[in-house]
């Protein structure tokens, strides 16, 4: 009688680990008087390392690094001209390494630096105002009577005039055509890299459109093209750059009062 054949259980292959997925590309903004660079990634990241111009950064009073559940942040305190450069967030997981970069130079640097300075000044002004209010509240009733007896009253007509001036100033601030302040003319990049094209602008940009060859760039879930926009900065991001991505890209800003546009030429260099 022939022996029974014993069948081995089927081999189940474990999925091959992949590099961490970058969910939101690196960008920069003014944050409480400092500059905050941030990107989002999968929470399976084992290590996060920051670089500027290829030099690894260390935690210090100038560079503050934070990571929490896929949110990677770099805070730059007391910003200096020497902080300009190409910043890279390197993410390491079991399956490999992913990177996201941001060019923090030129007009982009100056624009964000100005916003950080204004934010810091507003905080200082707010603190002074709070201190003045606290001091006022601690004044005795006799002191308040003394102050009230002096001629600090403002007539209703003066208040109306001040209100009109403030409204007019506010209206002028937002009612102007947008203008492109800085956009690189030519960018060369290797295939497979992440391309970041940042443009600083001024004015009230109600409509922001990136296009290529007259065709509007559409952002889709899971696609390679991403557009991120803040109050005065719009960024076109192309992940996994391919040779077919080469060409001339146009940025157009517009509102009811006018428009502005500029182009940037992207070339893909061979490995």
Q: How far apart are CA 156 and CA 161, in angstroms?
A: 9
SS3 assignment, position 270: coil
Largest Cα–Cα distance of the chain, in whole Å?
Answer: 121
pLDDT at residue number 147? 40
Q: How far apart are CA 57 and CA 167, in angstroms?
A: 46
The reported pTM is 0.48
- Mean pLDDT, residues 100-118: 87
Report pLDDT digits (tens) over 70-84: 899 999 999 988 999
Report pLDDT digits (tens) over 154-211: 344 444 454 444 444 434 344 688 888 888 878 888 898 888 888 888 888 889 999 9
Contact 215, 247 (CB under 8 A): no
User: Residue 136: pLDDT above 50?
Assistant: no
What residues contact residue 270 under an 8 Å CB cut-off, 6+ apart? Answer: 190
Joined tokens for residue 231: 């109050």
Q: What's the chain's average pLDDT?
A: 79
Joined tokens for residue 43: 């929470």
**Percent helix, strand and coil across the chain, each rounded to 5?**
25, 40, 35
């Amino acid at each position: 009688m022939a022996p029974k054949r014993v069948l081995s259980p089927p081999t189940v292959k474990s999925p091959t680990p992949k590099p961490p997925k970058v969910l939101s590309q690196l960008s920069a903004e003014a944050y409480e008087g400092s500059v905050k660079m941030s990107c989002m990634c999968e929470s399976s990241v084992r290590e996060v390392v920051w670089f500027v111009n290829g030099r690894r950064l260390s935690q210090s009073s100038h560079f503050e690094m934070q990571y929490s559940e896929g949110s990677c942040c770099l805070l730059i305190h007391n910003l200096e001209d020497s902080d300009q450069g190409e910043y890279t967030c390197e993410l390491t997981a079991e399956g490999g390494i992913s990177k996201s970069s941001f060019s923090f130079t030129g007009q982009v640097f100056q624009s964000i630096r100005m916003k950080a300075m204004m934010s810091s000044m507003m905080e200082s002004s707010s603190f002074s105002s709070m201190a003045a209010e606290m001091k006022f509240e601690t004044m005795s009733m006799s002191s308040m009577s003394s102050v009230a007896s002096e001629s600090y009253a403002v007539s209703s007509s003066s208040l109306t005039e001040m209100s009109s001036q403030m409204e007019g100033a506010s209206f002028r601030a937002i009612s102007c055509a947008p203008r492109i302040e800085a956009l690189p003319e030519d960018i060369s990049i290797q295939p497979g890299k992440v391309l970041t094209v940042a443009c600083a602008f001024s004015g009230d940009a109600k409509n922001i459109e990136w296009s290529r060859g007259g065709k509007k760039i559409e952002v889709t879930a899971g696609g390679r093209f991403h557009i991120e926009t803040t109050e005065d900065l719009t960024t076109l991001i192309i992940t996994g750059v391919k040779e077919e991505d080469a060409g001339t890209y146009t940025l157009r800003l517009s509102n009811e009062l006018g428009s502005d546009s500029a182009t940037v030429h992207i070339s893909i260099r061979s490995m």
